[in-house]
Structure formats: C-alpha cells, structure tokens
Amino acid sequence: MTDETKTTDAFDLVTKIDDNTWEVPTDYKLGMRVPGRIFVSETLMHGLEKQTLDQVANVATLPGIQRYSMAMPDAHLGYGFPIGGVAAFDKEEGVISPGGVGFDINCGVRLIRTNLQEEDVRPHIKELMSRLFRDIPSGVGSKSRIRASDSELDDAFINGSRWAVEAGYGVEADIEHCEGSGFIEGADPAKVSDKARKRGKPQFGTLGSGNHFLEVQYVDKLYDSDVASTFGLEEGQVTIMIHCGSRGAGHQICTDHLRVLSQAVKKYGIDLPDKQLACAPAQSTEAQNYFKAMACGANYAWANRQVITHWTRGVFERFFGKDMDDLGMDLVYDVAHNVAKLEEHMIDGKKKEVYVHRKGATRAFPPGHHDVPNAYRAVGQPVLIPGSMGTASYVLHGTEAAMDISFGSACHGAGRVMSRSHAKHEFYGEDVRKSLEARGITVKATHPSVIAEEAPGVYKSSSEVVNVVHNVGIAKKVARVLPIGVAKG
C-alpha cells in the first residue's frame, strides 16, 4: 500500500484567529475568492491532513462564494468538498455543485424518544437488537419488503416524509419534527433518470451499509435540562437513533448530474482545481435540473428514514406489548447532513438568498427562526451529532451565533481518521465486537469486517468535536446519549 495521505502539520499554513478558529489565507492557493475558515481545536488541527486544507481552498475558488469556505471540527479528506465542508453561493452570481452535497444525498440522522428507562431495555438488548436487525433490512444488496409503484415513487420524490406518513408509515407529528418538514420544495421527478428510479424503488426502508446504523441508546447526561425538557429528553431515558440516506436513488442522481455538470463546466468556462467540484451557474438549466433532482433524492431519504422509524416502532410495540403512544415513541427531530438548500442569510448587513451546501455538516438554526418547529422555536432546532459505533452521540441546540459565523451550520459527526482498508488491518471485527460487548454494547452486523471498518478507533473523539462546536457557540450541548445496542449494514 502506498501512503499518499501523510499527516502534515497544518499550523504553518493557517492563521490562528482564536482557540478554535483558523483561517486559510487567500494566498494559500491561486484563484481563492474568499479565505477558508476551519473550526478545530489545537488538538484536532494536529490531525488535519494538508489535503483537507487543499479541499477547503479549492471550494474557495468557486464563483459567487460568500464570506468563507468553511470546515467544521469533524473535517476530513473527502472528494470535491472536504467532509465537514460548508459553503454558501449567491443565488444569482454563484454556482450549485453536486460536489458540495455528495453522492449520499440527505444522508442524515433522526432521534426517537421513548418512555422506557435504561434498566427496562438493557436486560433484553440482545433479543431486541436481533429483532430490529431482522425487520430492518441492512447491508450491501439488501432489499425492502415494500415494492413501490411508479406513482408512489414520484410522490415520495416530491413530498418526502409526508408521502411516508400518508402511506401509513408514521404519524402527522413526525412530519413537523423534521428539518424543513421532511422535504425540499421544488423537487421534479422528471429530472430523475430511469436508472435512479430503478435503484430507488426496491430500497425504501433500508439502512444501507458503511457508517449507517440504527442504535438503541440511553440519555446518560444532561448539559441543559430546560432545553432537554423542551426536546422531551430526560436522564436515563432510552432513545433510538437512525443514520442513513437516499440509498441507490441518491447515488445515481448524483452520478447522472455530475456527468452533465462536468461538461457544463467547459461551456460556462469555469476553471476547476478538482473535477469533482463540477458545477454550473446557479440559475443555469444544468444547475437547476440538478437541484430539482437533488431535492427528489433528499425527499426520498426523508421517506426512507420515516419507513425505518415505523418499522422500529413496530418492533418495540411487539416486544414490549404496548403501543407507540404508551411507549412515548415520538420523533424528536431529523436532520440532513449532505444537502444544498436555498436559504436567506444576513451577509455584510444585507439579507441575501444563497445556496448553502452542507457536505457532512448539520443545519443549526437558532431560536425564533421560522424554519424551527413551533415546539422548539423558543430554544432553536435540535442538532443531532452521531458518534461512531460504540461512542457517545450528542444532542445540541441551534444558536444565533451560528447564523453570524457558519450560515447556521454545525458539525455532523466524529469524522474519520483512518481508512477502511487500514482499519481492517488494524482491527479484527470479532475482537471489536467482544470489546464493545464487554462495555455493555451489543452489535449486530452482516459481517465482522463491517465492524472492523467502523471500529471506534478509526474516528476522532466525538466529544472533542462537539466541544469545539459548543465553544465556538455554533450549537450548544443539551444531552449526551450512550449506545446499548447497534445494528449495522
């Protein structure tokens, strides 16, 4: 194996703004229109690869970028944008780029609360995880029990969560408790290819593989009990976290439109430092067609997580012999972390419409924002940060500071530090499973190598990442949840 991604000390290349903010100056790379801003602690900066800085700088060269090309504390090497990358582009003068969203359109996370306590669940966790693993398809090549018709697929592409709820997979309150009510406006299924439709049809309600998971957890610590209570969270309570995206539908939508946009770049004379940053002027037909198809992918993902939620509730209902209302299985919230959205932000004192690209970053809207559900409007939206397998996940809430600093965005997870192939050399899946078992965490996976690839040691510390977000103030800690059982592809 050739080692091409040596960790270089990034310190010489950036300017320190404060303890958790670093600037990539515009002279770092030819063509940068704005500086880069990286939100990491000194510890995390030590681990940052130079190539990640290069990717932040590459994004800064794109037309119409506003203020900064940003990277959240979980930033690591991606393709096109870095993972953890956030950038906003002027609605008229800017661009839209699939490289700023990624292939897994609207990969995201949702959190479901329960009335159960840790001690109600822990003694039964093995059996419960077996049932969840059995009822919720996961892994490469897995198929759903749902065979969607063409018109149902169209409906899901346009309406997202609402389609799933109206088809019987959930309750009305689930819709409001999703970012943007579980859909992006302007989706047009005519911009989605037959290939993407064929891939998407048999995959509603499937987790997928890689870092996707379904986790049974408990709230082990509250940082802000008032906000926690607004979110319906209390210490000792069992929660469920679902992390997955738009499956083959999203992958194909991105592949198809990337192909078109990589040619459009020549047509519009856009000079790109990385072909994966293929883009087109925001109002061009090519960019708008991508956006309409991307919205279909995003909406598919919300429908997908909604179907999984419904089946998860079913497993709990049968297992505990109570219905979902008695079990208090309400959806706390659902966030997207790979998506582009048209949003209004204050830039240099003026209200402006921008396409905010978040690739491995979470929207974090503040108290009072009209896009935050009524129930949470006084405290800001829940920001859900999943940990890696076997480590803590966090619930935070949005702040006004995020609107000033990061276009209303925060991090999305822990961030990888080790490649999958390296992980498989470093860890044995069975050993990792046993060591997690010894810590009281049951893991169900299709294959031990899946466990090795996602071993806790291949990620940055989620608490370090979340502390930076908290200290910068772009979201504030509310609760920490720890896993009891994990189902993985």
Partner 1 sequence: MPMPTKGYEYLEHTADAKFRAYGNTLEEAFQNAGVAMFNVMINTGGISDEVSEKIELTSEDLDGLLVDWLSELLYLFEVEQVVFGKFKIDGITEKDGNYSLSAIAYGESLDLSRHKFGTEVKAVTYNSLKVEEITDGWVVQVVVDT
Query: Judged by CB under 8 A, does residue 421 bind partner 1?
Result: yes
x/- contact string, 263-292, with partner 1 (CB under 8 A)?
A: x----------xxx-x--------------
Binding partner 1 (rule: CB under 8 A), the pick from 85, 160, 180, 210 is 210
When the beta carbons of 140 and 346 are compared against partner 1, the nearer one is 140
> Is 177 tagged catalytic?
no
Q: Considering the complex, state which of residue 56 and residue 228 has its C-beta at the smaller distance from partner 1.
A: 56
The letter for the amino acid at 307 is: V
In this chain, which of 73, 94, 102, 205 binds partner 1, going by CB under 8 A? 102
Are 21 and 471 in contact by the 8 Å Cβ rule? The answer is no
Of 130, 255, 288, 435, the one binding partner 1 by CB under 8 A: 255
| Sign of CA pseudo-dihedral 437, 443, 448, 452 | negative
Listed in sequence order, the residues at least 6 apart from 417 whose beta carbon sits closer than 8 Å to its beta carbon are: 47, 76, 458, 459, 460
Q: Which of 73, 208, 413, 456 contacts partner 1 by CB under 8 A?
A: 208
Based on the shown chain and the rule CB under 8 A, indicate whether residue 2 belongs to the binding site for partner 1: yes
Strand pairing category for 338-347 and 350-359: antiparallel
Active-site residue, from 370, 412, 422, 425: 412
Which tokens is 397 given? 């809430």
Query: Is residue 251 a contact residue for partner 1 (CB under 8 A)?
Result: yes
Position 79 contacts partner 1 (CB under 8 A): yes
Q: Are 303 and 160 in contact (CB under 8 A)?
A: yes
Q: Phi, psi (5° rounding) for residue 77? A: -60, 130
Residue 455 contacts residue 427 (beta carbons within 8 Å)? yes
Binding of partner 1 by 50 (CB under 8 A): no
294 sits near partner 1 (criterion: CB under 8 A): no
CB of 435 to partner 1, least distance (A): 20
In sequence order, the β-bridge partners of residue 90 are: 354
Q: Which residues contact 274 (CB under 8 A, 6 or more apart)?
A: 55, 58, 79, 80, 99
CA distances from 398 to 104, 378, 412 (A): 24, 11, 13
Nearest approach in angstroms of CB 247 to partner 1 is: 9
Interface with partner 1 includes 259 (CB under 8 A)? Answer: yes
Burial track 375-387 (b if 16+ CB lie within 10 A, e otherwise): bbbebbbbbbbbb
Residues assigned a catalytic role: 412
Binding site for partner 1 (CB under 8 A): 1-5, 49, 76-80, 83, 102-104, 139-142, 195, 198-199, 208-210, 248, 251-252, 254-255, 258-259, 262-263, 274-276, 278, 416-422, 424, 446-447, 449-450, 453, 489
